[in-house]
Amino acid sequence: MKIETLAVHAGESDDDTYGALTPPIYLSTSFMRDADGGYSRGHIYSRASNPNRDALEQCLASLEGGAAAVAFSSGMGAISAFFETLSPGDHVIAPADAYYGTGVVLREIFARWGLDVGFVDLTDHAAVESAVTPKTKVIWVETPTNPMLRIVDVERIAAIAHAAGAICACDNTFATPVLQRPFELGADLVMHSTTKYLGGHSDLLGGALVVREDGELLESIRKVQIHMGAVPSAFDCWLALRGVKTLPYRMRAHSEGGARVAGWLAAHPAVERVLYPGLADHPAHEVARRQMKLFGGMISFFVRGGREEAMRIASRARLFSRATSLGGVHSLIEHRASIEAPGSRTPENLLRLSIGLEHPDDLIDDLQQAMEERIGTID
Ligand SMILES: *Cc1c(COP(=O)(O)O)cnc(C)c1O
**Residue 114 clears pLDDT 90, i.e. is over it:** yes
Parallel/antiparallel/unpaired status of strands 350-354 and 298-303: antiparallel
**pLDDT digits 0-9 by tens, 91-113:** 999 999 999 999 999 999 999 99
Q: Which of 195, 198, 325, 352 to mutate to test the pocket of ligand 1 (most atoms within 8 A of CB)?
A: 195
d(CA 315, CA 81): 38
Residue 3, amino acid: I
CA of 195 to the centre of ligand 1 (A): 7
**pLDDT digits 0-9 by tens, 41-75:** 999 999 999 999 999 999 999 999 999 999 999 99
Q: pLDDT band at 374, cuts 50/70/90? A: low
287-315: burial string, b at 16+ Cβ within 10 Å, e else: bbeebbebbbbbbbbbbbbeeebbbebbe
Residues 6+ apart with CB under 8 A from 5: none
Residues 6+ apart with CB under 8 A from 242: 22
Instruction: Say if CB 257 and CB 360 are below 8 A apart.
Output: yes
φ, ψ (nearest 5 deg) of residue 72: -130, 170
Check residue 343 and give its pLDDT.
Answer: 74
Atom number in ligand 1 closest to CA 326: 15
* Closest C-alpha to ligand 1, atom 8: 75
**pLDDT digits 0-9 by tens, 234-267:** 999 999 999 999 999 999 999 999 999 999 999 9
- Which of 24, 13, 30, 53 minimizes the C-alpha distance to 233? 53
Instruction: Say if CB 332 and CB 324 are below 8 A apart.
Output: yes
Q: Which residues are the active-site residues? A: 47, 99, 171, 196
Q: pLDDT band at 373, cuts 50/70/90? A: low
DSSP state of 19: -
Burial of 246 (0-12, 13-18, 19+ CB in 10 A): middle
**Residue 158 clears pLDDT 90, i.e. is over it:** yes
Atom number in ligand 1 closest to CA 146: 13
d(CA 98, CA 93): 11
Specify the range with the lowest mean pLDDT, choosing from 152-161, 175-184, 319-328, 366-375: 366-375
Task: Express the helix, strand and coil content of the chain in percent, nearest 5 each.
Answer: 40, 15, 45
Parallel/antiparallel/unpaired status of strands 321-322 and 298-303: unpaired
- Average pLDDT estimate for 289-296: 98
Atom number in ligand 1 closest to CA 196: 1
User: Quick count: other Cβ atoms within 10 Å of Cβ 275?
Assistant: 23
**Residue 368 clears pLDDT 80, i.e. is over it:** yes
**Residue 163 clears pLDDT 60, i.e. is over it:** yes
Q: What residues line ligand 1, using a CB cutoff of 6 Å?
A: 74-76, 99, 101, 142, 146, 171, 173-174, 193, 195-196, 205, 207
Instruction: Say if CB 99 and CB 142 are below 8 A apart.
Output: yes
Instruction: Say if CB 95 and CB 118 are below 8 A apart.
Output: no
Residue 167, amino acid: I
